[in-house]
Amino acid sequence: MTTSEALFERALRVAPGGVHSPVRAFRSVGGTPIFFESAQGATLRAVDGREYIDYCQSFGPLLLGHRDPDVAREVEAAVNTAWSFGACEPYSLELAEFITARLPWVEKLRFVSSGTEAVMSALRVARAATGRHRILKFEGCYHGHADGLLVKAGSGLAGVAAATSAGVSANVAAETLVTPLDDEVALRSVFAEYGNEIAALILEPLPANYGLLIQRRQFLDEAVRVARAHGALVIFDEVISGFRVALGGMAEVLGIRPDLVTYGKVIGGGFPVGCYGGRRDLMDQVAPAGPVYQAGTLSANPVGMRAGLATLRKIIEVNAYRTLKIRTADLCRRVEAGLKRDGLPFRMARCGSLFWLHGSNGAPIRSVAAIPAGHGERFARIFHELLGRGIYLAPSGYEVGFLSLAHTDEQIDRTVEAILEAVRITSG
C-alpha cells in the first residue's frame, strides 16, 4: 500500500468520500488520489517524495505559481501582524482601491471568502434591485454550489430547470432558467417566455468549468443585448477568468461592461478570497448601506488581502499576461502539431493561460452538447499516463489546465512530450 493509499483510507473514515471537495477524490479518472505535502513554483511534492509539474495550480488562483517569493514575504509579514480582526483594517481598503481604480465597471465591491458566496450575494442584489425572482444561466457554466444554481436544463418548456443535487427543492430549482450556450434562438425563446420575470442573466464570459467552451463574440453580444432589452441585469462570473486572462478579465477583453461581476481565485493569491462588485447604485443596496443583507466573519481576511494585492501588483510589474499568453500558445501549438502529425483526433483549446485537451472533429467546442461522447473515459486514461510521467492535471476531463509564471521552458518541453506520448499510447 502506498503512502497516499494509506492516508486515503484514513480520510474515508472522517470525511465524505475522503475529501473536502468532490473532484479531489479521483472518481472521474479512477484510482486513489495523490496526497501532496508541499509545493513550490510549478511543482508539487507528494507524500512519497515524488514531484509533479502542476497544471492544476489549485484550480487557477496561483497565476504566479506556488509560494511566489514576493507574495510569500507579504504573507509572512501579514501572519506576523494579525490573522483576523473582525473589524475595519487598511488592507482590504488598499486592495479595493487597487481594483476599483483599474476596473471602471467595479465602482464598489464587497469582499467575501469564496466564489460561491460572491455569486450568491450578487444574485440577491439583482433580485432586490429589479424586484424579479428568476435567474437565467447557461448549460455548462458553473457558478458555485448555492442551491438555486445546482440545476440543469429540464424537459418540456424552454428554460425550465431540474436540480443536479439532492437537497435542492423543486421550488428553488424553478427560479433558475437554463438555456444552451452558443444558441441565440434558445436564448431569445426563454426571454420571450419569461423576460419580465428575469432579474439577471449570469454567465461565465469564458466558460471554463465544463471544458474550455470559448464563445463566439456575436453570441455574447446578443446575450447581453437581449437581457438588457428585457430589463434584466447582466452578471459576469469571472471567478476563473478575472485577473487570469487579463487584469480586467473577459470584461476587459470583450469591452463589455457588466452590471455586476464576481471574482475569486487570483485576487486572493492562493488564499480564500472572493468578491462581488459593480455599479454604485446596485452595490449601495448591500447592508449596511441598503436592505440586502450579507455578512461574513472572515470576509476581507488580512492575510488574503495582502497576498492578493501583492499578487496583482507583481502581475502588472512583470507583464505576466504577455508572458503567459506566449508560453501557453507555444505549449498548445506544439502539442497540436504533434497530434496532427500522428493523425490523432485531439485538439487543445486555449485562451490566455488556460488550456483544455479534448477529442475533436476539427470544429471548436462551444457547448456541452458538442463535447465528443466518451471524452471523460479517454481523458482518464491520458491522465494516468501523464501522472506516470510526472505531470499533474486536474483529475477530471472537464476541468481546464492553468499555466503559471513559474513554469519553465524545460518543464513545458517535458509536458509537450508527455502529452503526445500519453495520447499515442491511449489511442492505440
pLDDT digits (tens, 9 = 90+) for 78-119: 999 999 999 999 999 999 999 999 999 999 999 999 999 999
**pLDDT confidence of 349, banded at 50, 70, 90?**
very high
Helices (H), ranges, 69-138: 69-79, 90-102, 115-130
83 and 59 within one domain: no
Q: Is residue 211 part of a domain?
A: no
Q: Is residue 298 part of a domain?
A: yes
327 and 305 within one domain: no
Domain boundary among 317, 344, 370: 317
Identify the three-state secondary structure at position 45.
strand
Position 187 pLDDT exceeds 70: yes
**pLDDT confidence of 240, banded at 50, 70, 90?**
very high
Mean per-residue pLDDT for 217-244?
A: 98
Position 150 pLDDT exceeds 80: yes
Neighbours of 14 (CB within 10 A): 7
Residue 415: per-residue pLDDT: 98
Residue-wise burial string across 94-126, b where 16 or more C-beta atoms lie within 10 A, e elsewhere:
ebbebbbeebebbebbbbbbbbbbbbbbbbbbb
Contact 142, 209 (CB under 8 A): yes
Residue 363: per-residue pLDDT: 87
Split into its structural domains, the chain has a count of 2
**Catalytic residue list:** 142, 237, 265
Of 416, 414, 391, 413, nearest to 51 (Cα)? 391
152 and 272 within one domain: yes
Q: Is residue 213 part of a domain?
A: no
Neighbours of 294 (CB within 10 A): 17
CA distance 277 to 261: 6
Position 380 pLDDT exceeds 60: yes
CATH number at residue 31: 3.90.1150.10
Mean per-residue pLDDT for 122-132?
A: 98
373 and 275 within one domain: no
Domain boundary among 317, 345, 366: 317
Position 159 pLDDT exceeds 70: no
Percent of the chain clearing pLDDT 70 (strictly above): 98
330 and 287 within one domain: no
Residue 156: per-residue pLDDT: 52
Q: In Å, what is the CA distance from 11 to each residue of 7, 19, 28, 396?
A: 6, 7, 18, 20
389 and 341 within one domain: yes
What is the domain range of residue 111? Answer: 70-206+232-317
Which residue has 511566489 as its cell numbers? 68
Residue 163: per-residue pLDDT: 87
Domain boundary among 279, 295, 317: 317
Amino acid at 20: H
Amino acid at 332: C
**pLDDT confidence of 157, banded at 50, 70, 90?**
low
CATH number at residue 265: 3.40.640.10
Mean per-residue pLDDT for 216-244?
A: 98
